[in-house]
Structures are given as structure tokens and as C-alpha cells.
Amino acid sequence: MTQNVDDLHERGGARDIIHMHGSLTMALCAACGHRWPCRTELTVASQCPACQSVGSPRPDIVWFGEMPYHIARIEAELARADLFVSVGTSGAVYPAAGFVQMARQAGIRTLELNLEPSLGSHWFHETRNGPAGTIVPDWAEETLAALASVDHLP
């Protein structure tokens, strides 16, 4: 799951990303709720392809004060996870800031990878600080090596 509204995860090859704050590659009609892929600029003259309303299309992202998307699915994913890893967040914006507590309550191991300790660092079993470009690949290599050694046990 991501709070990012860009498509960098998808461009990096990730699949099945949950965009809890929506996506800049989608448009939403404020009049009828229709959503559609949109990579063009939206203006007051933009028209909804479903209801033909003019001026109602907007980026399909969650503004401040609006409810994030997919919360039920995120809670379900957290309940069945083996590991919760938080990468690059301040830990200041709820509900995402509360996911680590939900994971802990579900008995899931938690890891924070962040430039500096977040506001919620104390909730994590383990915290590693540094640039994501360094600590994420290091952690991934370490994890893959540990998994490979488990695979080779007699």
C-alpha cells in the first residue's frame, strides 16, 4: 500500500499496489463518481465521459479532509500479513500512521525504514534509519539471503 499518488511503484514493476490516497493517473467525476484513466490536464472545461458534466472531473486523489480509499482492504491485508514494513513516512498522518499499531495488535513483526526516526518509531519492533536508496536495498538483500539459507536447510 502507498500514500503516494504517482505511479512510480508500477513503473518500477510492482503489482497490485493499493493507492490509499488515489492516483494522479486517474480522474474522478465529482458529479457522478465515475473514474477513468486520465493522463491529460483537467480544466474547468473538462467533461465527464459518463455523465457529460462539464467542470466536474478532478484528479482522483484524496484531498485533506477526505476519507482515504481502500481502508477495508488495507485492514484485511494487515490482518493476514507476516511482516509490516514502513518505508519513508513521517508517521504523522492518520490513518496510515496507525497501521503499525494495527499490525502489532495482529501479532505481525514490524520494521521501519526511514531517513530519520518517525513520530511512530517507538511502535516498531525494529527501526533502520538512512536514505531509502541505501537501506531498502540493504534490507532486501539481507532478507533474500536469509530466505535462501532457510530454503537450503536439510
Q: Which of 14, 32, 83, 87 binds Zn ion (CB under 5 A)?
A: 32
Q: 88 near 104, Cβ under 8 Å?
A: no
Q: 124 near 111, Cβ under 8 Å?
A: yes
Under rule CB under 5 A, residue 20 binds Zn ion = no
Q: Which residue has the cell 519513508?
A: 88
Residues ≥6 apart with Cβ < 8 Å to 67: none
Under rule CB under 5 A, residue 27 binds Zn ion = no
* 28/97 with CB nearer Zn ion: 28
Q: Which stretch binds Zn ion (CB under 5 A): 21-29, 39-47, 90-98, 114-122?
A: 21-29
* 53/121 with CB nearer Zn ion: 53
Count how many Cα atoms sit within 13 Å of the Cα of residue 44 in the half-sphere of its side chain: 0
Q: 69 near 20, Cβ under 8 Å?
A: yes
Residue 128: φ, ψ to 5°: -125, 130
Q: Which stretch binds Zn ion (CB under 5 A): 12-20, 34-42, 92-100, 134-142?
A: 34-42
125 has catalytic annotation:
no
Q: How far is the CB of 56 from Zn ion (least distance, A)?
A: 6
Q: Which of 31, 81, 111, 135 binds Zn ion (CB under 5 A)?
A: 31
Q: Which of 14, 51, 92, 144 binds Zn ion (CB under 5 A)?
A: 51
Under rule CB under 5 A, residue 28 binds Zn ion = no
Under rule CB under 5 A, residue 106 binds Zn ion = no
What SS3 state is found at 112? strand
Instruction: Report the distance separating Cα 109 and Cα 47, nearest Å.
Output: 47
Q: What is the set of active-site residues? A: 21
Residue set of the binding site: 29, 32, 48, 51
